């Protein structure tokens, strides 16, 4: 396991990450907003993985140990905020919707992080106002701790298109269907079908970031048809998979 780095202040900076490139586990004493202008960003903690395309940003609270991974060519915008500045009162990583105005504010604040004129301070104040109004999005893949549940989740990570119902995983996991169903609700906060949909969306974003065609993504992730995939994707992210990667 990589050593956990302690970086006192979360930087405010714009940087690029190549496909598959990652940032090892680390933590800051300040909060951080992470926004991917292109590509797909995955932020992982012990509690699970949060993932965000260009219409989303990820809030990482002060002290939270996390790692980044790029899917596709990632244009990463990192915005540090003082520990005392928490406009949404969030104490865990959270995916936030990014409106066109909030997107431009994030880009402006990370383009010249050392700027501190009265106009720059007003810009940051507007950004905080927009964050307070930003809806939280359930774009998370929680990580299981129970070994029986982890066995099922690992199988589906290896093959997100696996169509088997939960009961067919029970024997191999060493637990009954009802036990597994309770574990999904208790540990992951969602039903088995809900978690599998989140898993498929996560893998779909990864594949789209790597320029896999939409029809192939739908097939590899287990949707019955391309149109069904497009419908679920649009409802989850607000745009169609065919437009993924275009400026938003």
Q: Where are the domains of the chain?
A: 5-140, 144-243
Coil vs helix vs strand at 70: strand
CATH number of 144-243: 1.10.10.60
Task: Estimate the crossing angle of helix 100-111 against helix 118-132, to 10 degrees.
Answer: 140
Cross-strand bridge partners of residue 137: 95
| 5-140 is classed CATH 2.60.40.10 | no
3-class SS of residue 194: helix
Per-residue confidence band for 2, with pLDDT thresholds at 50, 70 and 90: low
Place of tokens 């940032």: 23
Beta bridge partners of residue 23, listed in sequence order: 68
- CA distances 61 to 66, 87, 92, Å, are 10, 11, 6
Fold matches, 5-140 and 144-243: no
Average pLDDT value for residue range 226-238: 92
pLDDT tens digits, residue range 107-146?
A: 999 888 777 888 888 999 999 999 988 888 777 888 899 9
Residue 91: what are its φ and ψ, rounded to 5°? -115, 15
Sign of the Cα torsion 222, 50, 5, 109 reads positive
Q: For the residues 26-52, what does the mean pLDDT come to?
A: 88
Per-residue pLDDT band at 206 (split at 50, 70, 90): confident
2, 48, 54, 162 from 217: Cα distances, Å? 32, 23, 19, 14
Total-model pTM:
0.80
């Amino acid at each position: 396991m990589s050593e956990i780095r302690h970086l006192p202040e979360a930087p405010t900076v714009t940087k690029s990450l190549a496909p598959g490139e990652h940032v090892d586990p680390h933590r800051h004493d300040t909060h951080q907003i992470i926004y991917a202008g292109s590509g797909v960003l995955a932020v992982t903690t012990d509690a699970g993985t949060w993932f965000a395309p260009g219409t989303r940003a990820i809030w990482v609270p002060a002290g939270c140990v996390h790692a980044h991974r790029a899917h596709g060519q990632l244009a990463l915008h990192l915005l540090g905020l003082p520990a005392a500045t928490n406009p949404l009162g969030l104490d865990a990583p959270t995916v936030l919707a990014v409106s066109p105005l909030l997107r431009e504010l994030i880009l402006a604040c990370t383009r010249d992080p050392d700027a501190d004129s009265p106009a720059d301070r007003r810009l940051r104040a507007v950004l905080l106002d927009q964050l307070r109004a930003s809806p939280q999005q359930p774009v998370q893949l929680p990580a299981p701790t129970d070994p029986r549940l982890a066995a099922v989740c690992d199988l589906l990570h290896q093959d997100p298109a696996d169509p088997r119902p939960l009961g067919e995983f029970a024997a191999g996991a060493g637990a009954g269907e009802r036990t597994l169903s309770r574990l999904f609700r208790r540990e992951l906060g969602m039903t088995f079908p809900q978690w599998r949909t989140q898993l498929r969306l996560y893998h779909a974003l990864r594949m789209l970031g790597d320029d896999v065609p939409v029809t192939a993504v739908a097939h590899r992730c287990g949707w019955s048809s391309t149109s069904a995939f497009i419908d679920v994707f649009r409802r989850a992210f607000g745009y169609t998979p065919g437009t993924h990667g275009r400026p938003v």
